[in-house]
Chains A and B, each alone.
Chain A
Amino acid sequence: MAPQPSDNIIRVRDITVQFGKNRILDGLNLDVKRGEILGFVGPSGAGKSVLTRTIIGLVPKLSGSIEVFGIDLDGADAKARRGVERRWGVLFQQGALFSSLTVRQNIQFPVREYLNLSQRLMDEITIAKLGMVGLKPEVADRFPSELSGGMIKRVALARALALDPELVFLDEPTSGLDPIGAGDFDELVRTLQRTLGLTVFMVTHDLDSLYTACDRIAVLGNGKIIAAGSVADMQASQHPWLRQYFHGKRARAVMG
Chain B
Amino acid sequence: MSGDPTLERIAQGNGLALCAAGSWTARFAPDLERIVADAEKLAGSRPNIFIDVSQVSRLDTFGAWLIERLRRSLTQGGVEAKIAGLSANYSSLVDEVRRVKANPELDGSAVSVTGMLEQIGRSVAGVGVTLVSLIDMLGAVLAASGRVLIRPRGFRLTSTVHHLEQVCWRAVPIVVLITFLIGCIIAQQGIFHFRQFGADIFVVDMLGVLVLREIGVLLVAIMVAGRSGSAYTAELGSMKMREEIDALRTMGFDPIEVLILPRMLALVLALPILAFLGAMAALYGGGLVAWLYGGVEPEAFLLRLRDAISINHFIVGLIKAPVMAAVIGIVACVEGLAVQGSAESLGQHTTSSVVKGIFFVIVMDGVFAIFFASIGM
Confirm or deny: A127 has a beta carbon within 8 angstroms of a beta carbon on chain B. yes
Compute how far the CA of A141 lies from the CA of B340 in the bound complex, rounded to whole angstroms: 17
Q: Chain B interface secondary structure, helix, strand, loop or mixed?
A: helix
Task: Report yes or no: A128 in contact with B342, Cβ–Cβ below 8 A.
Answer: no
Given A127-B100, A144-B342, 19 new contacts (CB under 8 A): A2-B89, A100-B343, A100-B345, A115-B29, A115-B30, A121-B33, A123-B106, A124-B69, A125-B65, A126-B104, A128-B65, A128-B96, A131-B96, A131-B99, A131-B100, A140-B104, A140-B106, A164-B26, A195-B92
The interface residues of chain B lying within 8 Å CB-to-CB of A163 are 26
**Interface: B170 (CB within 8 A):** no
Measured in the bound complex, the distance between the Cα atoms of B118 and A164 in whole Å is 40
User: Digit string of B82-99 for contact with A (CB within 8 Å is 1, else 0)?
Assistant: 000000011011001101
Q: Is B122 an interface residue (CB 8 A)?
A: no
A145 in the interface, Cβ–Cβ < 8 Å? yes
Q: Quick check: A100 and B344 within 8 Å, CB to CB?
A: yes
Chain A interface mostly:
helix
| A99-B343 in contact (CB<8A) | yes
Q: Which residues of A contact B (CB under 8 A)?
A: 1-2, 98-100, 104, 111, 115-118, 121, 123-129, 131-132, 137, 140-141, 143-146, 161, 163-164, 191, 194-197
Cα–Cα distance between A142 and B281 once the two chains are bound (Å): 53
Interface of B toward A, CB cutoff 8 Å: 25-27, 29-30, 33, 60-62, 65-66, 69, 89-90, 92-93, 96-97, 99-101, 104, 106-107, 241, 340-345
5 A–B contacts, CB within 8 A, in A order: A115-B29, A123-B104, A127-B100, A128-B65, A194-B92
* Contact (Cβ within 8 A) B342 A116: no
Contact between A129 and B342, CB atoms less than 8 A apart: no
Question: Pick the contact of B61 from A125, A141, A146, A194 — CB < 8 Å?
Answer: A125
Q: B97 near A128 (CB under 8 angstroms)?
A: yes
Q: Is the CB of B342 within 8 A of A143?
A: yes
- Asked if residues A146 and B96 are in contact (CB atoms below 8 Å), the reply is no
Residue among B25, B26, B30, B96 with the highest chain A CB neighbour number at 10 A = B26
Establish whether residues B92 and A191, one from each chain, have CB atoms under 8 Å apart when the complex forms: yes
**Chain A proximity of B352: nearest CB distance (Å):** 16
Taking a contact as CB atoms closer than 8 A, the residue among B60, B92, B100, B101 that contacts A164 in the complex is B60
In the complex, the chain B residue whose C-beta lies closest to that of A132 is: B96
Query: Is there contact, CB below 8 Å, between A117 and B89?
Result: no
- Asked if A118 contacts B342 (CB within 8 A), the reply is no
Residues of A within 8 A of B343 (CB): 98-100
A123→B62 CA distance, assembly (Å):
11
Q: How far is the CA of A197 from the CA of B340 in the complex (A)?
A: 39
Residues of B within 8 A of A143 (CB): 341-342
Contact of A125 among B62, B89, B101 (CB under 8 A): B62
